[in-house]
Amino acid sequence: MQERLPEPAARHLWGGYLAAERNAEAVRWELEQLDGGLLGRLSPPVALKGAAYLLAGLPNAAGRVCHDIDLLFPADEVGRAESLLFFEGWQASPHDAHDQRYYRQWMHELPPLVHRRRGATLDLHHNLLPETFAVRVEPRRVLDAAAPLAAPWRLRVPAPEHLALHAAVHLFAETEWQRGLRDLYDIHALVEHFQAARGDRFWEELLDEAEALGVAWLVEPALACGRTLLGTRVPAAAAERLERHGPPRWRRGPMRALFRHGLNTRASRTPRRDALARAALLLRGHWLKMPPTLLARHLLYKAFRAPQGARAGGGETPTHRHG
Amino acid sequence: MRIGQLSRSELAGRLARGGLSLATGPVTTRIRTSIPGVAAHLAALYADFPLGEADGIADFSCQLRPPRGVRRYYRPQVLFLADGRSVFKPLAYHQAGPMLEWGMNWCIASQLRDRLIFHAAALERGGRALLLAAPPGSGKSTLCAALACRGWRLLTDEAALVELGAGRVSVAGTARPVSLKNASIEAVQRLAPEAALSAPCRDTLKGTVAHMRPPPESVRRAQEPAAPAWLVFPRFVPGAPTRLTERSRPEAFMGLAANAFNYAALGRRAFHRTADLVERVACYDFRYSRLEEAVQVFDELATRREPSAVPGAGEPGYHGRPHGPGVDGAAAGGAGERAARHPVAPGR
Amino acid sequence: MEPEALPGGEGDRVLEGEAAFLEIRALDGGVLAFHAGSGETHWLEGLPARLLWAGAHLGGAAPERLRERLGDEAALAEAMAGLRAAGLIR
């Protein structure tokens, strides 16, 4: 590949590969530490997203950078997991009382834990979607179907259909789409991989499970975007079944355009439309996440009462550190 | 074609249309802006730099523009955007020139992963490179400007680039203008009255800032790396006598790694490349207050045939805190800082 | 066995378990160890450095073989304690 690419482009890709390789190594080690530590007192947790792709050796793990580690616990164990991990150096990142309440009462995960010495971040989940989400997903189904990994791992990974569903649900219920293209590629690589490994049976299981969990309406646009942008192959029978879960015809065009612009990177030719789409997706994501009264309270708080630091946008840094 | 060959209106026109590709040695930056201060800054300091191909690949894509909102009518400001995303808090409008410099530094520090990048100045003489590694405020840029005015070839005052691939260890830089602050502006003017400095920009976050135009010879040879020979940790101490002392290699390693922007992101490759470099150089601590004497010390160093050997390290045992994921946090800053601090931390 | 007496340059497997994560280099009598899991770099001298170096030289050595290399029990224990303090082994 490097022979055909212009050198500057090949260099950036190689740099990306090196950083991803290093990231995978660090994630694997953090997972080993977690697996061999105090979490051994609880039932084996399920690794989600990047950690799961890495441990299961799935094709989308190559070149992928995980920014945090996600673990799923039964709801009655997640609090104990947090207390145990404290003794291994994992501390809740500073959040004000509002954010703490927001996470603990309404979300599907605890406020992120940060390792005191290494700065790595860890999310402890007790569900795949927030408690207040438009549909309630039963996490038991994911925990019960999770597959063990080869010894000596205690950690488990979700069943194939849950891996693909979580990727789709995660992106298409999301408020922030800046890593949308990566997330769409996850969906694409997972369904193609499992289709190759298990054939059409995989699609049946995927759609059965999507319907059982009540998230087929999020899977439909995910695969539609995958088909358009990445050429994801969806068997005819599955496509037909998905069709029934799509939005009504009059909303289909605008919704597709919304997702397509939301998936554009910052280097796109339509920056204004993309920005508009990102704003709309942010609202849509919050709308799906919370009942309207709670949403209004949360947004009002964020706009007027949040401390300055919490509101300062988009990771801007003071210039004086780059002299 | 060089920047200096464009008329001011051609330069401004290309900048406004986003067609100005600036080739600074090993990296190319595409710049888009309608702010006249940026065109003036480029005309004054970058005249000797070549233009990249208009439709070629640029490593970084930057834009400078005022923030949207009513404030632009009564107190205008400037933003620096990399790939369409603002990376700094806005600065006052008249600071567009320094903003461009800091923005380009940010791009190199946070967007290159294919080479090891040290927060260090680098200069070359007789085919051998001198690295000045130190955090901001240690007088590294002042010393760098002084040496560049006295016959050393400027590689960089800010980011030394070291290839990771196998083969000989070499240091490269962009040969971009040297950033000078406050008292060091006058110190450099006193040492080298012929040095071309930009008009001082006042009231920035760092006080008064001026940039020194790099010597044309350094710009012409900006593509040319050099083999590292000396690694020096400079420190400006007011009133202190000039003193060059040897530093043990393990200690120099720790000091250099702590000044790398992307050590954490590159892991073992960064570790080995840093060790490869430290193995090949003579390592020193350097304290100074008088610039003229400092220049002499380095001239003497350059005329010695072989860098002297550094004796073994002192106390046995374990040396303090681990040099950990915090390494490039100090240099990379902000959102980039968290990503850089640890490979498993939230990024952009 | 002094670090200087050994060929430098390659990082290698060191102690079982953590082996895959450790890279080491000798520089002027000190040994630098990079732990690729935690991302931490350590500078060791004296016994811990010698133990690390011996481990790398043997290619993923078990403590019994390292004991042979280092000569006596006390030296091994001291060196292991040093490595543990540095967080390089558990």
Mean per-residue pLDDT, B148-166: 94
According to DSSP, residue A291 is labeled: -
A156: Cβ–Cβ under 8 A, 6 or more apart, which residues? A44, A45, A46, A47, A146, A147, A148, A149
Question: Does the structure show a pLDDT above 70 at A311?
Answer: no
Say if the Cβ atoms of A178 and B206 lie within 8 Å: no
ipTM of the complex: 0.84
Q: Which residues contact A125 (CB under 8 A, 6 or more apart)?
A: A48, A70, A71, A72, A73, A78, A108, A109
Give the pLDDT of residue B292: 95
N-terminal to C-terminal alpha carbon distance within chain C: 24
Q: Which two tokens stand for residue C79?
A: 């060196």
Sign of torsion over alpha carbons B187, B188, B191, B194 = negative
- Residue A142, both tokens: 């994911």
Nearest CA in chain A to C35: A26
Kindly determine whether residue C36 and residue A30, on different chains, have CB atoms separated by under 8 Å: no
In this structure, how many other beta carbons lie within 10 angstroms of the beta carbon of residue B191? Answer: 18
Is B337 within a domain?
Answer: no
pLDDT band per the 50, 70, 90 thresholds, residue A11: very high
How far is the C-alpha of A188 from the C-alpha of A64, rounded, in Å? 14
- What pLDDT, on a 0 to 100 scale, did the predictor assign at position C21? 76
Whether the predicted pLDDT of B44 surpasses 60: yes
Closest to A128 (Cα-Cα) out of A181, A184, A171, A65: A171
Residues B280, B150 share a domain: yes
CA distance A31 to chain B (A): 11
Touching B (3+ Cβ pairs <8 A), the chains are A, C
Does the pLDDT of residue A296 top 90, yes or no? Answer: no
Please indicate, yes or no, whether residues B121 and B94 belong to a single structural domain of this protein.
no
Nearest CA in chain A to B26: A8
Q: Which residues of A touch C36 (CB under 8 A)?
A: 22, 25-26, 29
> How many angstroms away from the CA of C38 is the closest CA of chain A?
7
Task: Tell me whether residue C22 is in a domain.
Answer: yes
pLDDT confidence of residue B40 = 96
The model's pLDDT over C29-80, given as tens digits with 9 standing for 90+, comes to 788 989 888 899 989 887 777 777 766 665 555 556 666 666 677 777 777 7
Q: What is the pLDDT of residue C70?
A: 66
Which chain C residues contact residue B312 at CB under 8 A? 28-30
What's the pLDDT tens digit per position in B266-296? 999 999 999 999 999 999 999 999 999 999 9
Chain B stretch 317-336, residues whose beta carbon is closer than 8 A to a beta carbon of chain C: 317-319, 322-325, 327
Per-residue confidence band for B345, with pLDDT thresholds at 50, 70 and 90: low
> So what's the pLDDT on residue B316?
40
Per-residue confidence (pLDDT) for residue A247, from 0 to 100: 86
The parent domain of residue B133 ranges over 115-305
Q: Is residue C3 part of a domain?
A: no
Fold of A23-158: Beta Polymerase; domain 2 (3.30.460)
The mean pLDDT of chain B is 87
* pLDDT band at residue A283 using 50, 70 and 90 as cut-offs: confident
C10-21 pLDDT, tens digit each: 333 345 455 567
The structural domain count of chain C equals: 1
Query: Are the beta carbons of C39 and B343 closer than 8 angstroms?
Result: yes
Q: Could you tell me whether strands B160-163 and B178-181 are parallel, antiparallel, or unpaired per DSSP bridges?
A: unpaired
Q: Same domain, yes or no, for B59 and B100?
A: yes
- ∠ Cα B128 B129 B134 (to 5°): 155
Contact B16, B33 (CB under 8 A): yes
Q: Is residue B250 part of a domain?
A: yes
User: Residues B258-273: what's their mean pLDDT?
Assistant: 94
Q: Kindly report the CA angle at B332 between B331 and B333, in degrees rounded to 5? A: 100
Q: What is the dihedral of CA A221, A225, A227, A228, to 10 degrees?
A: 140
Q: Compare C12 and B16 and report the one with higher pLDDT.
A: B16
- CATH number of the structural domain spanning residue B203: 3.40.50
Residues B196 and B251 in one domain: yes
Residue B249 to residue C28, Cβ atoms within 8 A: yes
Choice between A28 and C22, residue whose per-residue pLDDT is larger: A28
B237 contacts B182 by C-beta, under 8 angstroms:
no
- The answer to whether residue C49 sits within a structural domain is yes
Q: Give residue-wise pLDDT tens across range B119-139.
A: 999 999 999 999 999 988 899
Q: A32 and C38: CB-CB below 8 Å?
A: no
Secondary structure string (H, E, C) spanning B69-99: CCHHHHCCEEEEEECCEECECCEEHHHHHHH
Q: What is the Cα–Cα distance from A310 to A302, expressed in whole angstroms? A: 8
For chain C, list the contacting chains (3+ Cβ pairs, <8 Å). A, B
C19 inside domain: yes
State which of B111, B141, B162 marks the end of a domain.
B111
Phi-psi category of B133—alpha, beta or left, where left has phi over 0 and alpha has psi -120 to 50?
beta
Cα angle A215, A220, A221; round to 5 = 110
The values of phi and psi at residue A22, to 5°, are -65, -40
Residue B310 falls inside a structural domain: no
B78 touches chain A (CB under 8 A): no
What is the structure's pLDDT at B337?
Answer: 34
C41, B324: Cβ pair inside 8 Å?
A: yes
Domain co-membership, B106 together with B125: no
B140 in a structural domain: yes
Q: Where are the alpha helices (DSSP H) in A214-291?
A: 216-230, 236-243, 249-263, 271-289
Number of residues in chain C: 90
More confident residue, A322 or B65: B65
In a domain, B341, yes or no: no
Q: Is residue B339 part of a domain?
A: no
Domain presence at residue C6: no
In terms of domains, do B63 and B87 share one?
yes
C-beta atoms surrounding A94 within 10 Å: 11
Are residues B147 and B245 located together in one domain of the fold?
yes
Residue B241 has what pLDDT? 96
Chain B CB contacts of A271 under 8 Å are 84
Report the distance separating Cα A121 and Cα A157, nearest Å: 19
Chain B residues touching residue C12 (CB < 8 angstroms): none
Residue B148's contacts (CB-CB under 8 Å, 6 or more residues apart) are: B123, B154, B178, B212, B214, B215, B218
Integer CA distances (angstroms), A68 to A21, A321, B30, in order: 15, 25, 32
- B87 and B139 in a single domain? The answer is no
What's the CA dihedral at A16, A22, A26, A32 to 10 degrees?
Answer: 110
Q: Note whether B168 and B129 are same-domain residues.
A: yes
Are B96 and B169 contained in the same domain?
Answer: no
What are the b/e assignments for A185-206, b being 16+ CB within 10 Å?
bbbbbbbbbbbeeeeeebbbbb
| Residue pLDDT, tens place only, B193-252 | 999 999 999 888 888 999 999 999 999 999 999 999 999 999 999 999 999 999 999 999
Counting the structural domains of chain B, the total is 2
Per-window interface: C 7-26 vs A, CB < 8 A: 21
**What is the domain range of residue C67?**
13-85
Q: Where are the domains of chain A?
A: 23-158, 159-307
